[in-house]
Structure 1
């Protein structure tokens, strides 16, 4: 049996998953002086490059967990302040129908940072902790040995700690062992994530609502498009040069486009294996009768950026018995992307868990408080996200 890496207080936290939540937790634990290690199944850093909406929960969590120079880098590479920090609801003719406030207080009253490029954020979160983040380690399960928990990896190998945190997403291996009764619920079968470069022509053509934090559009057939501009305060490449030792990939201005398609004609193609050009044709066909500016947006999508996916969620879990295994982020409360609660909730989980473990209280007591608070805030967020899309709500209730 492998020895446990010792911490000065006897704690050693094993984190499974190197997404935004797992990396933020590792930053918070290191800042608190708590020994930890992160294990990620991907062979190396390969985070998807799409926009994440950031609100008060996410911004505050990053401020609590990151060293000051990394927090400043995060704000420098976040989107410049929008016209209105809210979601604008349009019809397919480009007419604004309503607005939806989503995150309450601004995350920073001086420089509200309302969105960030996901890969950029993960690269910032990885900075300074590469010695404790281990790629190419796919967790297959865990077991208890005495008072410790041991994680097993595909191909052999183990990691031992005093606490295991599942930050491994909606298909969490850790959750499937801890809460096997919690089943993933599919909501939208055919959704396409993509990016359209923000050219001058496109910027001039788009409705003014695109200068807000986020835009949602639905037509009478149920086709749904969600979009958000990504224009960082400072060019990501310039910010990286100014931050010695932090490697960030360059990112050009773009519009993130997520399109849900009802009953697409896939012909001989499998949705997830279809050529990118075919998927782009599905997107164009879905908006063929929309306003010219919205068609221009979809026409401008770069086919190489298109990623097919299903939209899924987890039902709110019942209370579980606190032990030395816990969860955060999508591993325990994956929710629809409407209003962007997912990343913010994962970051808040990470900050709250790091603070609980650093509180000086007994670990079980700290974990019980963390898990109780997590459950109390998850259901209202989930219900609010579902309420923004009646079609999704109906499917979730089946």
Structure 2
């Protein structure tokens, strides 16, 4: 029986993970990535337990854990540094088997690429050169051209009303905690620590789409000048040229399907969501594992993709809605009374409630994949 061929369009986290899963289940895989360098490679990422478990299922979890930094201490603060809620990473690890981990995106991309045979990946091209493939995986991101072809009447991504600036510090920094969020009126500042002592920070602001700054670091230093000292220390440890700036878009209108014919949509191409739960990449990794598991049996591709759609669309849609709600309760609040009410509710909430809130999206068990 001839080996079945899969073409993956997009070499980001979801595309590479899908390629790994398909390759280890017996598919001949080719990954096409248009960009020679991914434009978010200078950023970091937190992976919750469901993302780490997906990586375990793909056989790369141990390598990622070795390169990542576990997040045990942290929580949410006010601009003056007072804690609204604490996160118990050890409790999460006991409940889920793994803590949240932080890793530079470039390091995660490298580990995923290394798990594939070198000939699988072609960078600098994004065309459907292998039109005779048995399967096409559309992992081509927020602005997916394949999604637009399959669903020409879908409105596509919309601006969420928020823009995010982020960077990795140029040197190790002494942070108080492994991760933290600070919520102020109309703004959020957060950081995650890495294994080498550096940290990634992000600043989320309510702003019109398309606004850019000649010197974004100076803008942020002024914007957060009166916030607690950790914010200023992270900004001071950053080179101005390292700051990335992206508007946050989402697929607010859900797709009617994640698969059409022999084409499967995956990651942001299927369910781009706001980053408020840190679940975007984790959901793409879940997609990859479920796709590989459904296609592993050797049956008809169409039937396997129908099962993939039936499993993934309800799950990813629910997480996307939860992320949107979380954003509305965070930096999106600007009225002083609304901010005060939210802060009071968080301070009064029992610690177990915070753990349960994190457990909801992260408590996912991957389907089994055949041994490599």
Are 1:135 and 2:123 matched, yes or no?
yes
CA deviation map 1:265-293 (0-9, x unaligned): xxxxx844x44xx1111110110121233
Are 1:261 and 2:205 matched, yes or no?
yes
C-alpha contact 1:15 1:36 (8 A) present in aligned 2: yes
Distance apart, 1:217 and its partner CA: 1.2
SS state at 1:160 partner:
coil
C-alpha contact 1:53 1:116 (8 A) present in aligned 2: yes
Match of 2:104 among 91, 101, 117: 117
CA distance in 2, matches of 1:101, 1:176: 42
Distance apart, 1:364 and its partner CA: 1.5
Gap runs ≥5 in structure 2: 334-372
CA distance in 1, matches of 2:94, 2:243: 30
Q: Which residue of 2 aligns with 1:219?
A: 184
Q: Which residue of 2 aligns with 1:307?
A: 244
Distance apart, 1:298 and its partner CA: 2.2
Equivalent pairs counted in the alignment come to: 330
C-alpha contact 1:91 1:218 (8 A) present in aligned 2: yes
Match of 1:327 among 243, 255, 265: 265
CA distance in 2, matches of 1:340, 1:282: 25
Match of 1:352 among 284, 290, 295: 290
CA distance in 1, matches of 2:237, 2:96: 34
Match of 2:52 among 34, 56, 59: 59
CA distance in 2, matches of 1:217, 1:37: 42
CA deviation map 1:170-189 (0-9, x unaligned): 01111111123141111135
SS state at 1:60 partner:
helix
Distance apart, 1:196 and its partner CA: 2.4
Distance apart, 1:43 and its partner CA: 2.9
CA distance in 1, matches of 2:151, 2:331: 24
Match of 1:229 among 157, 169, 193: 193
- 1:16-31 matches, within 5 Å, as 16-31=9-24
Distance of aligned partners of 1:57 and 1:50 in 2 relative to their CA distance in 1, 3 Å threshold: same
CA distance in 2, matches of 1:262, 1:47: 21
Match of 1:89 among 69, 72, 76: 76
C-alpha contact 2:46 2:278 (8 A) present in aligned 1: yes
Q: Which residue of 2 aligns with 1:381?
A: 319
C-alpha contact 1:164 1:326 (8 A) present in aligned 2: yes
- 1:82-231 matches, within 5 Å, as 82-84=71-73, 88-99=75-86, 106=93, 112=99, 114-127=101-114, 128-139=116-127, 151=128, 159-180=131-152, 181-197=154-170, 199=172, 202-203=173-174, 206=175, 208=176, 210-211=177-178, 214-220=179-185, 222-230=186-194
Distance apart, 1:47 and its partner CA: 5.8
CA distance in 2, matches of 1:165, 1:101: 37
CA deviation map 1:116-170 (0-9, x unaligned): 221111111111422111111123xxxxxxxxxxx2xxxxx55431111100110
